[in-house]
Amino acid sequence: MAKPESRKAKRAALQGKATPRAAPGAASPEQARQAPEGSPDGGPAPAMFGSQGAASALTGDAGDENATSPAGGLVDKSGISMDDFTPPGSGACKFIGSLHSYSFSSKHTRERPSVPREPVDRKRLKRDVEPGCSGTGPGPDKGSVQSPPTSSLTATPQKPSQSPSAPPADVTPQPAAEAVQSEQSDASPMSINEVILSASGACKLIDSLHSYCFSSRQSKSQVCCLREQVEKKNGELKALRQRVSRSDSQVRQLQEKLAELRRVSFPYLSSLPTPGREPARMNPVVEPLSWMLGTWLSDPPGAGTFPTLQPFQYLEEAHISHVGQPMLNFSFSAFHPDTHKPMHRECGFIRLQPDTNKVAFVSAQNTGIVEVEEGEVNGQELCIASHSIARISFAREPHVEQITRKFRLNSEGKLEQTVSMATTTQPLTPHLHVTYKKVTP
């Protein structure tokens, strides 16, 4: 609520618009009474500019828009003229004046639209009725209080209470503070004045705006940079996808070609069991040898001996399987324990004479030997001895002349193989011993 004194001061200022405007130092006695005591020349010292009372004396009433300046200068719709904010000899005021220029232009710009905003209309209406309005219409003060602010620039950022460097509210003399309240509610150009007069606060505000502009520009350039990178990566991704797609189609073509070749070259392959098919049921004939089935790995490494040889070690994989036929298929592959280089290899079949425990062991070895061993299976032990041995014509000497083997499943569930042999130079002597651990069912 504006006190009567404040309203009176405003009314006086309003009336004073018809007369040449007084110089800042020649404010009305009432305004002079409101000025802070510390003012050097009784004029509008910076602290005094924070007082709405002083500002009111300079500019006239808030509702006095588009009034003509007494000096004949340009006056804003709100009654503000540039002269009001640029007292001679004040550097700060010049700076503030530039802000006012912005404020003015901003205000004009915002009021330029073809469809005027409601507050503007209301103000214009108020201006029109003011001179002839004595009782029924709103008076200058009343109208000012009811009118919403026409410019956000004139009110929000420039309130002393919101500016960190603005003079504290309790420093303002009481009448002036009341005037401030009155003028704030009017959203008059006085509000602009008030904030502009707190120069350091305005500077900080502008600085912060500058830094915002700068960081915004930086961010924009970073965003541009990132966009370029993203576009580049998208291009690369597209190229890679095309390559993958080409590769996929090539793989498909090769698979089709391979299938075609298989059909042409091996017409019978198409009838072979597929890998996903269930394993064949074991033929009952070979059931006494079922304990040998599986894939086995030497554990520990096999040990080799012979009178003519240095003892040696080896790794060996034994694979013993069936395909439903009355026999087992086997392959033994030995490797060097350090280099894993392939060494001795052999593969063949183990047959059982039906309804007996007689076993025939048929093997072909990479050393050029083919042999048949025969023997018996008893429980989980198979003992066999060479029945016939043949070799290639250029087989190395000394030639093996006799071979005996023993397979057994030990108490630990491991498979053991023991091999002895006789050569043209040595009698029957142990040559190999290896224990295998099962690695597949």
Please state, as a whole number, how many other Cβ atoms lie within 10 Å of the Cβ of residue 283.
16
Q: For ligand HEM, which stretch binds (CB under 6 A), given 81-89, 106-114, 120-128, 307-315?
A: 307-315
Residue with Cβ nearer ligand HEM (5 or 346): 346
Q: What is d(CA 337, CA 318) in angstroms, rounded to the nearest whole number? A: 15
Long-range CB pairs of 401-404, under 8 A, 24+ apart, other chains included: 402/428, 403/371, 403/373, 404/373, 404/428
Q: For ligand HEM, which stretch binds (CB under 6 A), given 131-139, 283-291, 306-314, 350-358?
A: 306-314
Binding to ligand HEM by residue 415, rule CB under 6 A? Answer: no
Q: What is d(CA 296, CA 319) in angstroms, rounded to the nearest whole number? A: 6
Q: x/- site string to ligand HEM, residues 148 to 187, per CB under 6 A?
A: ----------------------------------------
Judge contact between 302 and 432, C-beta under 8 A.
Answer: yes
State the minimum distance, in angstroms, from the CB of residue 257 to ligand HEM: 40
Binding to ligand HEM by residue 430, rule CB under 6 A? Answer: no
Task: Report residue 214 as tokens.
Answer: 């700068």
Q: What is d(CA 364, CA 385) in angstroms, rounded to the nearest whole number? A: 15
Q: Which residue has the tokens 């690369």?
A: 236
Q: How far is CA 29 from CA 54, 130, 140, 182, in A?
A: 11, 26, 22, 20
Judge contact between 110 and 153, C-beta under 8 A.
Answer: no
Q: Which of 139, 304, 348, 375 binds ligand HEM (CB under 6 A)?
A: 304
Judge contact between 408 and 397, C-beta under 8 A.
Answer: no
Q: Which of 114, 161, 265, 308 binds ligand HEM (CB under 6 A)?
A: 308
Binding to ligand HEM by residue 309, rule CB under 6 A? Answer: yes
Q: What is d(CA 85, CA 64) in angstroms, rounded to the nearest whole number? A: 16
Considering only CA atoms, which of 157, 40, 22, 51 is closest in space to residue 90? 40
Residue with Cβ nearer ligand HEM (49 or 407): 407
State the minimum distance, in angstroms, from the CB of residue 350 to ligand HEM: 14
Q: For ligand HEM, which stretch binds (CB under 6 A), given 157-165, 258-266, 271-279, 300-308?
A: 300-308
Residue with Cβ nearer ligand HEM (180 or 400): 400
Binding to ligand HEM by residue 95, rule CB under 6 A? Answer: no
Judge contact between 203 and 157, C-beta under 8 A.
Answer: no
Q: Which of 403, 408, 415, 435 binds ligand HEM (CB under 6 A)?
A: 403
DSSP 8-state symbol, 170: G
State the minimum distance, in angstroms, from the CB of residue 399 to ligand HEM: 7
State the minimum distance, in angstroms, from the CB of residue 320 to ligand HEM: 15
Q: x/- site string to ligand HEM, residues 243 to 282, per CB under 6 A?
A: ----------------------------------------
Residue 302: phi and psi, rounded to 5, are: -65, 155
Judge contact between 98 and 50, C-beta under 8 A.
Answer: no
State the minimum distance, in angstroms, from the CB of residue 383 to ligand HEM: 14
Residue with Cβ nearer ligand HEM (166 or 318): 318
Residue with Cβ nearer ligand HEM (95 or 314): 314
State the minimum distance, in angstroms, from the CB of residue 311 to ligand HEM: 10
Binding to ligand HEM by residue 432, rule CB under 6 A? Answer: yes
Residue 101 makes CB contacts below 8 A (sequence gap 6+) with: 82
Give the amino acid at 79.
G
Give the amino acid at 305.
T
Q: For ligand HEM, which stretch binds (CB under 6 A), given 118-126, 239-247, 292-300, 303-311?
A: 303-311
Give the amino acid at 163.
S
* CA 272 distance to own-chain centroid: 51
Q: What is d(CA 181, CA 12) in angstroms, rounded to the nearest whole number? A: 17
Task: Report residue 220 as tokens.
Answer: 């924009």
Binding to ligand HEM by residue 400, rule CB under 6 A? Answer: yes
Residue 54: phi and psi, rounded to 5, are: -65, -45
Binding to ligand HEM by residue 421, rule CB under 6 A? Answer: yes
Binding to ligand HEM by residue 362, rule CB under 6 A? Answer: no
Q: Which of 419, 430, 433, 438 binds ligand HEM (CB under 6 A)?
A: 419
Q: Which of 306, 347, 380, 414 binds ligand HEM (CB under 6 A)?
A: 306
Q: Which of 182, 185, 298, 423 binds ligand HEM (CB under 6 A)?
A: 423
Q: Which of 39, 312, 380, 414 binds ligand HEM (CB under 6 A)?
A: 312
Please list every residue from 328 through 347 that binds ligand HEM, using CB under 6 A.
334, 343-344
Give the amino acid at 397.
E
Q: List residues binding ligand HEM (CB under 6 A).
A: 304, 306, 308-309, 312, 314, 334, 343-344, 369, 398, 400, 403, 419, 421, 423, 431-432
